[in-house]
Amino acid sequence: MKWLRLSAYLAGIGCSLLAAWWLFPGKTTEAGVTAPPSQKWIPSLSETEEFCRFDHPEWRRAQTIEGVEIAADPECRPDNPYLIAAVVKGTNRVTMPTLMKTRLAMDAVVKENDRDGDGDPDVIHIRLEVGELNGSTPDGDFLIPGYRIAPGLTPGLWVFVPKMRGMATVDAVNLDAAPLLRAPSPPIRVEQGDTVYLTLENTHYLPHTIHLHGVDHPYRQADGQGNDGVPITSEKPLLPGERRTYIIRPRRAGTMLYHCHVQTDKHMLMGLQGLFIVEENRPDNWLQTFNVGGGKVRHPSRAVREKYAQEYDLHYQSLDKERYRPIQEYNDPRLVAKGMNRDYDITDNEEDFFLLNGRAFPYTLRDSLIVVEPEQKILLRVVNGHPHTLALHLHGHKATAIAADGVPLAQPVTRDVHALAPAQRLDLVLDTHDDGLHSFGQGIWLMHDHAEKSVTSDGVGPGGDIGLVVYRQYLGDDGIPKLQGMDLTPFFNLGMFQRQIPLWARSDAWEIFSDTGPLPPDTLRVILSGISLGLALGLTWACWRRWRQPS
Amino acid sequence: MIRPVLLILFLWLPVAAFPGHRMDMDSMVMNENPTRLPQGCAGIAGDRTITVRAGRKYAKPFPGVVFAYDQRSWEVPPCTRLTVRFINEDHIRHQFMVHGLPPDLYPMGMFTIEVSGPGEETASFILPPYKKTYLVHCDIAQHTEHGMKAQLKVAGGDGDLASLPGLTKPVRPDRYPTRWTGRSLLLLALALVTGAALVWLGRWLIRAMTEDQP
Ligand SMILES: [Cu+2]
């Protein structure tokens, strides 16, 4: 009889547990007569950045440093003018106080030997290192050196960097990357006919090379060393701690490219790609050898100054979470190499982050603005570093393509969407004459890749490679564009691209679009599931007592 | 054209440079201090010279490490004037950078020697009197993380730093695939037998405790 009673108890306990489980309130609750009220999003000060905080507003002015004229750049965060002076004069020729404001190594850009006697140096020695941004560390759960492409976004990146000195981070306390160490790999400018020694010092823990894509260069050097940077054909990959010098004397001018040719579906797309511009030969033509930063060329070449009021370098590139995952997950280079070369499969993955000059919206509004005046002709050198076609669209303008891949177009093309195949370069002329074709007049005009995923950051938009063409009268003296659209505060919050903030949280009608408040669980369900659970507990206790009693 | 410019530069360099700073094409020294005594030191207790070699080849004994120093731990008495001869055996930059020094003598608490490529540089600094372990590393992006990290102990130091190749465990070690060996299988079998024996032992213990009472 004891066993019969026991099974009756167990059946009772089972049934009441089942009922409690079934009746327990679920993750969502049906609304009654009125839906729950809206939840107002209030930005927390500690998690929201200012639109523009910058320690060196004096960098925005037009200025002359050591005889080098540097054009004004009135946006929030212009490039360091001392760095521009140093790379124009050469790091071997500039004075120590200027060089000390740059973190460039003294041999980063060595300029000498005016061979043709035209007043500018013709033998240029450029040294590049390889930097990793947002990599892992065995010393804790953080990424080093830190680099944000947008608030709260720290994807893993590799870049070529002008040879540096000192720390890779801001200082011993702030572990963000030093300003020189940033994306994109810096545009390099040399003069047609210069002898250029381009030395790669591989400071990274994986092998790399430099391929001078489209730049006139011999396949081999006089001593037989490979000069094409291709591990399949011309040379072995350059190992960590080693260096190699590529030697060129480019005969033709044009907008070209340089990139690492080791595992290009990984290394090039991790960021080891940059513009390489051969400028036309002119007398007294001191070039800005590196254009580190947001794209504006503050010391354009003679030939560019003859024809254009301004010049900008625009580098579009994208990043894939799966591709860079190994550098944030592992320290051991063998695990990184396996994770990238064998576990990662580019044919199964999609790009997640889209950058203009190393940043995503809204950071592009701080240092990658194109600030124009009416009646200007502006040269834009665009490179498509995405693995997809770039459909570059300018609002309010139809730009004219005058050269592709460094070759002048026989028939210039004026349109508002310019297609660039992967690795392709276009020289675009942005004409701000308000004639109803080239420009529709003054304003703040959007500029973006019209492949729509590119205007998101990991699928959250607006983000990605959105940039702006801002007419000067629409730019405040603080470098902030006088926008009259939606409140951008949520985009400067760390949670925005982590999908934590409703898009129209700051709209006047936030109560319509904001997140809904929660509902309390259904009263009947709370009572019934509680009773069932209580029943199960009571039965268990009774059963236990019965069992213990001697029959 | 070039030579006079360089000459002017080098003549002018010592004037422009900050005290304790030296820099040329091949190397850089920051916060060198062979004379000024840290607080609490009555005098220089002694001179000590170490030769530190840096390069990829010193990482070879340690699987998964790429860059390293030839030694990863040094000990000196308090108030020692330490002269570091730093030899770079790679064709890239490396640094010997010490952190945590008194900031009144060493801005940001740092002493640095950087060598631009194959070559060497020597500089000295004076250590404070107290017991402390100083971080020594190369701060080129990802060099510390890939092995170029060491420690300098004064008066025996106040502990060991993490992730020193061959010496200490990382804070966040990597994970590797598991493979069972004969030894681990044998250990498992032994542990099984022990577990079974524990049941028997437990029963025996309880019995012994209850039955012994009269
Ligand atoms: Cu190093």
Q: How many CB atoms lie within 10 A of CB A551?
A: 7
Q: What is the mean pLDDT of chain B?
A: 91
User: Is B13 a residue whose pLDDT tops 70?
Assistant: no
Co-location of B211 and B107 in the same domain: no
Q: Which of B134, B18, B120 is nearest to B73 (CA)?
A: B134
Q: Determine the distance in angstroms separating the CA of B207 from the nearest CA of chain A, rounded to an integer.
A: 23
pLDDT score, position A551: 55
CB contact, 8 Å: A166 with chain B? yes
Say if B190 falls within a structural domain: yes
Asked if B7 has any chain A CB less than 8 Å from its own CB, the reply is no
Task: Give the pLDDT confidence score for residue A390 in this predicted structure.
Answer: 97
Could you tell me the sign of the dihedral formed by the alpha carbons of A290, A293, A299, A302, in that order? positive
Rounded to the nearest whole angstrom, what is the distance from the C-alpha of residue B96 to the centroid of ligand 1? Answer: 8
Give, as one character, the DSSP assignment of residue A455: G
Contacts of residue A241 in chain B, CB cutoff 8 Å? Answer: 55-56, 66-67, 90-92
What's the number of domains chain B is made of?
Answer: 2
Q: What is the pLDDT of residue A369?
A: 97
Question: What is the residue type of A83?
Answer: L
Same domain, B146 and B201: no
Same domain membership, residue B114 and residue B61: yes
**Statement to judge: residues B93 and B129 lie in one domain:** yes
For residue B8, pLDDT beyond 60: no
Select from A92, A97, A166 the Cβ nearest to the Cβ of B16: A97
Which homologous superfamily does the CATH classification assign to the domain defined by A104-305+320-345?
Answer: Cupredoxins -  blue copper proteins (2.60.40.420)
This model of the complex carries an ipTM of 0.90
SS3 B100: coil
- DSSP notation for A409-433: EEEEEEESEEEE-TT-EEEEEEE--
d(CA B87, CA B78): 25
Q: Are residues B69 and B133 in the same domain?
A: yes
Q: What is the pLDDT of residue B15?
A: 40
Name the pairing type of β-strands A63-65 and A68-70.
antiparallel
pLDDT over 80 (residue B89): yes
pLDDT at B16 over 50: no
Cα(A351)–Cα(A353) distance, integer angstroms: 6
Residues 187-226 of A with CB under 8 A from B: 201-205
Model confidence at B163: pLDDT above 90: yes
Q: For B9-62, give the secondary structure using H, E and C.
A: HHHHHHHHCCCCCEECCCEEEECCCCCCCCCCCCCCCEEEEEEEEEEHHHHCCC
Q: How far is CA A392 from CA A421, A451, A551, in A?
A: 11, 9, 88
Determine, for residues B172 and A243 on separate chains, whether the beta-carbon distance falls below 8 Å: no
Place of tokens 């060393």: A225
Which of B9, B27, B140, B171 to probe the A interface (max A CBs under 10 A)?
B140
Report the alpha-carbon distance of residue A45 to residue A108 in Å, rounded. Answer: 41
pLDDT at B66: 98
Q: Give per-10-residue mean pLDDT for chain A (551 aa).
A: 82 93 92 90 91 95 97 96 98 95 96 92 97 97 97 97 96 95 98 97 98 96 93 95 97 98 96 98 97 96 98 98 97 97 95 98 96 98 97 98 97 97 98 97 97 96 96 95 93 94 89 90 92 92 82 55
In this chain, the answer to whether the domains covering A104-305+320-345 and A364-498 adopt an identical fold is yes
Indicate whether B134 and B195 sit together in one domain.
Answer: no
Which residues between 146 and 165 in chain B have a beta carbon less than 8 angstroms from any beta carbon of chain A?
Answer: 146, 162-163
Cα R_g (chain B), whole angstroms: 27
Tell me which residue of A338, A452, A447, A443 sits closest to A389, measured CA to CA: A452
* Euclidean distance between CA atoms B50 and B62, whole angstroms: 22
Roughly what angle, to the nearest 10 degrees, separates helices A523-548 and A2-23?
Answer: 160
Encoded amino acid at B72, one letter? R
**Separation in Å, CA A475 to CA A51, A202, A369, A446:** 13, 41, 10, 14
Contact at 8 Å (CB) between A178 and A168?
yes
Strand B94-98 versus strand B132-137 pairing type: antiparallel
pLDDT given for residue A433 in this prediction: 97
Q: Is the domain of B116 the same as that of B27?
A: yes
pTM listed for this prediction: 0.91
> Which one-letter DSSP state was computed for residue A10?
H
What average pLDDT does the segment B98-106 reach?
Answer: 96
**Angstrom distance (rounded) from CA A83 to CA A98:** 8
For residues B75 and B31, membership in a common domain is answered with yes
Residue B204 belongs to a domain: yes
Q: How many CA atoms lie within 13 A of A522 on its CB side?
A: 14
Closest by Cβ to B28, choosing from A93, A165, A205: A165
Report CB contact under 8 Å: A204, B55: no
CA neighbor of A140 nearest in space, from B193, B144, B101, B181: B144
pLDDT of residue A283: 96
Sheet of strand A188-191, all strands in order from the earlier edge strand to the far edge:
A188-191, A273-279, A254-259, A211-213
Range of the domain at B198: 181-214
A135, A140, A240 ranked by CB distance to B171: nearest: A140
- Give the CB-side neighbour count of residue A221, counting CA atoms within 13 A: 16
Catalogue the long-range contacts made by A484-491 (C-beta closer than 8 Å, 24 or more residues apart).
A488/A51, A488/A362, A489/A43, A489/A48, A490/A41, A490/A43, A491/A150, A491/A151, A491/A361, A491/A362, A491/A462, A491/A463
CA dihedral (A259, A177, A88, B93) positive or negative: negative
Domain boundaries, chain A: 2-42+520-548, 104-305+320-345, 364-498
C-alpha B117/C-alpha B24 separation (Å) is 12
Task: Write the DSSP string, A64-76.
Answer: EETTEEE----SS
pLDDT of residue B11: 46
**Lookup: tokens for A229:** 């940077």
- Tell me which chain B residues have a C-beta less than 8 angstroms from the C-beta of A326: none
Buried b (16+ CB within 10 A) or exposed e, A170-198: eeeeebbbbebbbbbbbbbbbbbbbebeb
Instruction: Tell whether B75 and B147 lie within a shared domain.
Output: yes
Q: Which residue of A has its CA nearest to B55?
A: A241
Q: Which tokens belong to A426?
A: 């276009």
The region of weakest confidence among A335-339, A341-345, B14-18, B187-191 is B14-18
Domain contains B162: no
For chain B, give percent helix, strand, coil, nearest 5.
25, 30, 45
Cβ within 8 Å of residue A34, ≥6 positions away: none
Chain A residues inside the 8 Å CB shell of B114: 165-166
Of the ranges A140-149, A392-401, B6-15, B107-116, which one carries the lowest mean pLDDT score? B6-15
Farthest-apart Cα atoms in chain B, separation:
111
* pLDDT given for residue B3 in this prediction: 54
Contact A96 B12 (CB under 8 A): yes
Q: Which residue has the tokens 């000192």?
A: A166
CATH 2.60.40.420 fits A364-498, yes or no: yes
Q: State residue A205's pLDDT score.
A: 98
DSSP string, A462-501: S-TT-EEEEEGGGB-TTS-B---SS--GGGGBTTGGGT-S
State in Å: Cα B118 to ligand 1 middle: 12
Q: Does residue B1 register a pLDDT over 50?
A: no
Q: Report the CATH number at residue B54.
A: 2.60.40.420
Cα A145 from Cα A172, distance rounded (Å): 11
Rounded to an integer, what distance in angstroms lies between the CA atom of residue B109 and that of residue A172? 9
Do B112 and B205 share a structural domain?
Answer: no
Taking only residues 379 to 438 of chain A, the set having a beta carbon closer than 8 angstroms to any beta carbon of chain B reads none
Q: Would B165 be classed as within a structural domain?
A: no
Residues of B in contact with A141 (CB under 8 A): 172
Q: Which residues contact A33 (CB under 8 A, 6 or more apart)?
A: none
Among the listed residues A59, A65, A90, the one whose alpha carbon sits nearest the alpha carbon of residue A287:
A90
Residues A7 and A193: their CA atoms lie apart, in Å, by: 96
CA–CA distance, A410 with A43 (Å, rounded to integer): 54
What single letter denotes the amino acid at residue A491? Answer: F
User: Does some domain include residue B167?
Assistant: no
SS3 content of chain A, % helix, strand, coil (to 5): 20, 30, 50
Q: Are A118 and A194 in contact (CB under 8 A)?
A: no
